[in-house]
Amino acid sequence: MRGAFPIAMNQFLFWTTFMTLYTFNKNKWFFFWVYQDFSYDYCKMINMIFSFSLASAVAYPAYYTREMGDLWPTERGGHCTWNNNYRQCYKWMIDNMDVHGVNFLTGYWQWMRRYGFIYFGALWTADNLGMMSNSNEAHNSLEVMYPHFAESS
């Protein structure tokens, strides 16, 4: 785990924020495609863009701490502001968010090209396969094919 703080924090923030927002909105807006006859893919695209954008904007600064700690040059005299500690670097980012907040999204589009579009496609496919659904009952399970067995035991 040593040195994994920025990657682990980034992944935790991204997946927690995305899945929470996406499933919450999917459960709250179901009437658009069930009762109002909007295309489900259209509603899914809007929900996924909203959830993905917010989740990646929240999570990317945690990933950016790796660049701050590893790639930024040290101060004059070889002194490191964060004492070569990712946690101290992230704490410094939170303390200075009001002054440097926009700078913490530097390199965001390179991250999107490298990881983001792949995540987006994988999440779209996961929803198509029913992995983000409230109904987890398999279509070919025994309870669905032979429903009288469910009451007989």
Block mean pLDDT (10 aa), the chain, length 153: 78 91 90 88 93 90 81 77 80 81 79 87 88 65 56 52
Amino acid identity, position 104: F
Taking the C-alpha atoms of residue 42 and residue 57, their distance in angstroms, rounded to an integer, is 23
Question: Residue 54: its pLDDT value, please?
Answer: 93
Q: Where are the domains of the chain?
A: 5-152
Global pTM?
A: 0.74
* CA 142 – CA 69 distance, rounded (Å): 54
Longest dimension (CA), the chain: 78
Quote the distance between the C-alpha of residue 25 and its chain's center. Answer: 15
DSSP secondary structure code for residue 24 in this structure: H
